[in-house]
Amino acid sequence: MQSNLYEFQKRQITLIARVTPYAMAGHVANVTVIAVAFAGSVPAATLIAWCAYAYATALLLIYRHVKNRGRSPRSFQRAARKVTIYAFLLTLPWSVLAVLYLGSLPHSEELMLVALVVGMAGCGTLLLSAIPPAAFSYMSVILIPSTVKCLFVSQKGYVLLGMLGLSYWGCLSALIAKTSRDNRERREAELVLAERDAHLQASEAKLAGILGIAGDAIVSIEAGRRITLFNAAAERLFGYSRAEVLGQPIDLLIPTRFRVTHQRHIERFASGSDISRRMGERQEVIGRRKTGEEFPTEASISKLDLGGERLYTVVLRDITDRKRAENRQGLLAAELDHRVKNILAMVSAIASRTQDTSCSTADFVSALDGRIKSMATTHELLSHHRWEGIPLAELVRRKLEPFTTAKNVQIEGADNILRPEAAQAIAMVLHELATNAAKYGALSVAGGHVSVRWHHLQNGQAHSWLSICWEESGGPIVGALTQSGYGTTIIRDLIPYELDGTVDLVHTSKGIRCKLEIPDHWLSAVGSDFMLRRKHSQGTHADQTRRPLVK
């Protein structure tokens, strides 16, 4: 049981170690950028001392990483404490810089400092999420001092920035708390499994001889390699009845390509001094069922001289499920690594592009906060639906929910399920449309109205397309678009780039009209079963899912 717990904890430490070189490279790059940008604005001695500390900390962690590469920590708690301390040391210079100079630097330099603080807090939380205390330490040390300093600067913009900092800290804290809870539940589940394995091993240790492990398939052969014993478990495992195999050669149960190897193994074992191989020394062999199906087994062998005749007994256990679970675990680990990298790259790109198109610090923080929260909402929906897909109607409702009143939104369409990749891209576009409508369009006034409809169309091609139409009315009079910001770029370019679809964005006098079209292969293949389960879980509300949804 302790071994399984240790393995789980070791995977957490390994995940942190894997990203350490990349994180330190980013840390050094950020320090260098700040050093160059602040030269002349911060006293040279202070800047030199600050850089020396930051670089030394990064080099120390890289040295520790290289020194301990390939080693496993003897104590998870000790390793976790070290990671937490390192996280504190990494963020300390940034907090000191923000506390000492935030409010006294030129606007461009302060914007750069705030952007780095916000971005590092978010990225650090994701990178250290495997160890929640370290993630919380990193995020809090870099955000709390900066936020408090903003609240004490007697300017409206800084107070707003401080309040947004507290909100951002709260969101990241909630994310860390959820990750901690997930880790705890997984650890408890692994402890339960470990306890079951321990009980099984204890039972196997107490059972001696062939009859003691009758739950496994037991096959005995004589010196001529013909079957003399075939228990009920073996009947279930191979699909043969006892009468069908008694007196038959053992090759009947072995695939043709492995028969020579198996015979040599028996001969080596027969000439050796070992009487048996214990359960822990089992070797994997391939068996063949009556149907011809091959499957992996875990096998042990023993020999016994009885009445001048030598008998060999093989104990077999089907490990198909275990092999499948191991393969699935490997796939899940690879998928997790891929998703984490994608999220980090997306957050970095959004932060950079948002900063480029922001007019002020408050505008940057507000826009970045909204986009990151939108991403979090989408990932929450995907997690809730086990990454099988998101119902389009549910996705649209969630993106419009913050701005919806009694009659200002109408949603109508079939029960389409978007694949995870399509759901994430469309969610970003819907967020930008909804945010724009709330600031400047139909959702910014009491009489405004937004309609979102979707349907299938053929487009004269072999495969159908899904058409999603966003249309605003009753809002302020909208003039011609004179400047394209990052949000507009997302709306126009993301769907064609990610989903090979089309976007028709029109600014009319009544408001924005946006038409999205994507190929139908971005709809989930499990959509019908998915919606059937969803309707069943909703009870009496299931018959309403295909009618227009008006709020």
pLDDT of residue 352: 72
Length of the chain: 551
pLDDT of residue 467: 92
Maximum pairwise Cα distance, the chain: 104
Compute the distance between CA of residue 471 and CA of residue 494 in angstroms, rounded to an integer.
19
pLDDT tens sequence across 21-72: 877 887 788 888 888 877 878 888 888 888 888 888 888 888 887 887 777 6
Helices 107-127 and 320-356 cross at an angle (nearest 10°) of: 170
Q: Show the CA angle centred on residue 360, arms to residues 358 and 364, nearest 5°.
A: 50
Contacts 24+ apart (CB under 8 A), 29-33: 30/116, 30/120, 31/55, 31/58, 31/93, 33/112, 33/116
Class of domain 385-550 as given by CATH: alpha beta
| C-alpha pair distances (Å), 429 with each of 157, 322, 341, 470 | 29, 42, 21, 11
Listed in sequence order, the residues at least 6 apart from 251 whose beta carbon sits closer than 8 Å to its beta carbon are: 225, 259, 262
Which secondary structure element, helix H or strand E, spans residue 170, and what is its range?
helix 156-206
Task: Specify the range with the lowest mean pLDDT, choosing from 4-8, 80-84, 341-345.
Answer: 4-8
Q: Give yes or no for residue 463 having a pLDDT over 70.
A: no
Q: Under a CB-based contact definition with an 8 Å cutoff, are residues 248 and 224 in contact?
A: no
Which residue has tokens 């079951």?
196
pLDDT of residue 439: 86
Phi first, then psi, for residue 333 (nearest 5°) are -65, -40
Please state the rounded mean pLDDT for residues 132-152. 78
Q: Give yes or no for residue 401 having a pLDDT over 80.
A: yes
Here the tokens at position 263 are: 């015979």
Domain ranges of the chain: 2-197, 211-318, 385-550
Which residue has tokens 């994608």?
342
pLDDT of residue 525: 64
Q: Tell me how crowded residue 405 is: count the other CB atoms within 10 A of its CB.
A: 10
Residue 234 burial (10 A CB sphere; 0-12, 13-18, 19+): buried
Here the tokens at position 245 are: 């195999």
Question: At 467, which amino acid appears?
Answer: S
Q: Mean pLDDT in the chain?
A: 78
Please state the rounded mean pLDDT for residues 173-191. 79
Q: Show the CA angle centred on residue 77, arms to residues 73 and 80, nearest 5°.
A: 80
pLDDT of residue 309: 81
Distance of CA 166 to the CA centre of its chain: 26
Q: Give yes or no for residue 3 having a pLDDT over 50.
A: no
Which residue has tokens 């100079």?
101
Please state the rounded mean pLDDT for residues 192-206. 70
- Give pTM, 2 decimals: 0.41
Q: Give yes or no for residue 20 having a pLDDT over 70.
A: yes
Distance of CA 164 to the CA centre of its chain: 27
pLDDT tens sequence across 472-487: 988 887 665 555 677 8
Phi first, then psi, for residue 80 (nearest 5°) are -65, -40
CATH of domain 211-318: 3.30.450.20
Helices 107-127 and 156-206 cross at an angle (nearest 10°) of: 10
